[in-house]
């Protein structure tokens, strides 16, 4: 019960690693605010956690809207009184989500905007919105989800890689800003993860993609008291993909 009485906001919490992170935080005693653009799905996810005894609430939020982000933070404080951890998990490759399979040279501006706003602007918005609460508490942890593409780059993920690279810089700057106030920030950068068939088939030197549980365990460790002296660092969990070989 590492997170007993801790309050956590998880974005992208209706599916994938966001949902799994929310479930694991709740299982270890946290009070969790599940935030996702899909209101029906996130409420269903929250209800399932409640059925297992978790103390959670759900909110539909488009992280591209600062007003909606502020409302989510206000709801967390109203429901649970504080915010101890923010896990910025929401994101996605705009080529897939916006259905534009061509190269960067063919990418519609709408897809470029979506990729930057969801993968970078939205997390910045959430950090900005939770910081006044954490500063008042003199404590807090921010976990940002990066990607191996933010470290290595990727010819097929120009916008996504740029945004995820920004997450690493954001984390370093937040760590420096927050350090005098007891606030930590860490970045977790996965390689291929078995959340979708396409990623499960991506090669790594270890010969497989990561199990989502392997990634979320790292997220939870870094946000726990066990990692109290860790801040500002990017953690690759990529099966050595960033070392220059794809298996």
Q: What is the CATH number of the domain that holds 78?
A: 3.40.50.720
Give the tens place of pLDDT for each residue, 136-170: 999 999 999 999 999 999 999 999 999 999 999 99
Instruction: Say which of 66, 160, 221, 235 is annotated catalytic.
Output: 160
Query: Residue 8 above 80 pLDDT?
Result: yes
pTM value?
0.95
Confidence class for position 245, pLDDT limits 50, 70, 90: low
What is the band of 20 on the pLDDT scale with cuts at 50, 70, 90? very high
SS3 107: coil
Q: Report the alpha-carbon distance of residue 181 to residue 96 in Å, rounded.
A: 39
87 in a structural domain = yes
- Give a yes or no: residue 2 inside a domain: no
Q: Which of 236, 138, 125, 122 is nearest to 178 (CA)?
A: 138
Residue 210 lies in a domain: yes
| Side-chain-side CA neighbours of residue 148 (13 Å) | 23
Domain that residue 147 falls in: 7-243
In a domain, 78, yes or no: yes
Task: State pLDDT tens for residues 188-213.
Answer: 999 999 887 777 778 899 999 999 99
Break the chain down into helix, strand, coil percent, rounded to 5: 50, 15, 30
Query: Rounded mean pLDDT of 98-112?
Result: 94
Within a domain: 90: yes
Q: Within a domain: residue 19?
A: yes
- Structural domain contains residue 95: yes
**25 a catalytic residue:** no
pLDDT range class, residue 29, cuts 50, 70, 90: very high
Beta carbons of 209 and 239 less than 8 angstroms apart: yes
Distance CA 168, CA 174 (A): 10
1 inside domain: no
The number of distinct structural domains making up the chain is 1
């Amino acid at each position: 019960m590492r997170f007993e009485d801790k309050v956590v906001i998880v974005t992208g919490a209706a599916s994938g690693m966001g949902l799994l992170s929310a479930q694991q935080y709740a299982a270890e005693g946290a009070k969790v605010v599940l935030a996702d653009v899909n209101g029906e799905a996130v409420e269903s996810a929250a209800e399932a956690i409640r059925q297992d005894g978790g103390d959670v609430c759900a909110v539909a939020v488009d992280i591209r809207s600062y007003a909606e982000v502020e409302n989510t933070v206000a709801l967390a404080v109203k429901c649970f009184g504080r915010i101890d951890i923010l896990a910025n998990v929401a994101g996605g490759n705009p080529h897939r989500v916006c259905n534009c399979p061509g190269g960067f040279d063919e990418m519609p501006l709408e897809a470029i905007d979506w990729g930057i706003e969801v993968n970078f602007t939205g997390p910045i918005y959430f950090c900005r919105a939770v910081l006044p609460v954490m500063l008042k508490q003199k404590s807090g942890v921010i976990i940002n989800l990066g990607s191996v593409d933010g470290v290595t780059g990727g010819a097929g993920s120009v916008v996504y890689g740029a945004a995820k690279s920004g997450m690493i810089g954001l984390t370093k700057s937040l760590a420096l800003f927050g350090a005098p106030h007891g606030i930590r920030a860490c970045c977790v950068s996965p390689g291929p993860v078995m959340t979708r068939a396409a990623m499960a088939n991506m090669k790594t030197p270890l010969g497989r993609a990561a199990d989502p549980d392997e990634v979320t365990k790292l997220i939870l460790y870094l946000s726990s008291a066990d990692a109290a002296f860790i801040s500002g660092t990017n953690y690759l969990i990529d099966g050595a993909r960033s070392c220059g070989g794809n298996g």
